[in-house]
Amino acid sequence: MKQTTKAHFAVLITNFIFGINYSVVKLITPVHILPLGLNMARVLVAFLLFWGLFLIKPSKNPPIGIKRKDIPRFIICAATGVVLNQVFFIKGLSLTSPIHASLLALITPILIVFIAAWMIKESLSWLKIMGLCLGIAGASILIISKSNASANNAMIIGDLYVIINAILYSCFMVWVKPLMQEYKPLHVVRWIFTFGFIMLLPFAGKDLYQTNWHSFDGSSWVALALICVGATFITYLFNAYGIAVIGSSTTGIYIYTQPFFAALVAIIFMGEMLTLQKIMAAILIFIGVYLVGYKKRTIDLLES
Could you read off the pLDDT of 43-74 as tens digits, one per residue? Answer: 999 999 999 988 887 655 567 789 999 999 99
Taken in order 99, 102, 103, 105, the sign of the CA dihedral is positive
Quote the mean pLDDT of the chain: 83
Mean pLDDT, rounded, for 203-224: 93
- Write down the pLDDT at residue 149: 46
Q: What are the backbone dihedrals phi and psi of residue 24, each rounded to the nearest 5 degrees, phi first?
A: -65, -40
Going from N- to C-terminal start, the domains of the chain cover 3-56+69-303
Q: Which amino acid is at 233?
A: F
For residues 285 and 291, what is the distance between their CA atoms, to the nearest angstrom?
10
For residues 53 and 57, what is the distance between their CA atoms, to the nearest angstrom?
6
Long-range contacts of 116-122 (CB under 8 A, 24+ apart): 116/174, 119/174, 120/174
20 closest CA partner among 300, 222, 201:
222
Q: Which range among 16-20, 83-87, 119-123, 208-212 shows the weakest confidence by mean pLDDT?
A: 119-123
- Write down the pLDDT at residue 44: 96
Mean pLDDT, rounded, for 151-172: 84
Mean pLDDT, rounded, for 113-123: 67
Report whether the peptide linkage leading into residue 63 is cis, meaning its omega lies within 30 degrees of zero.
no
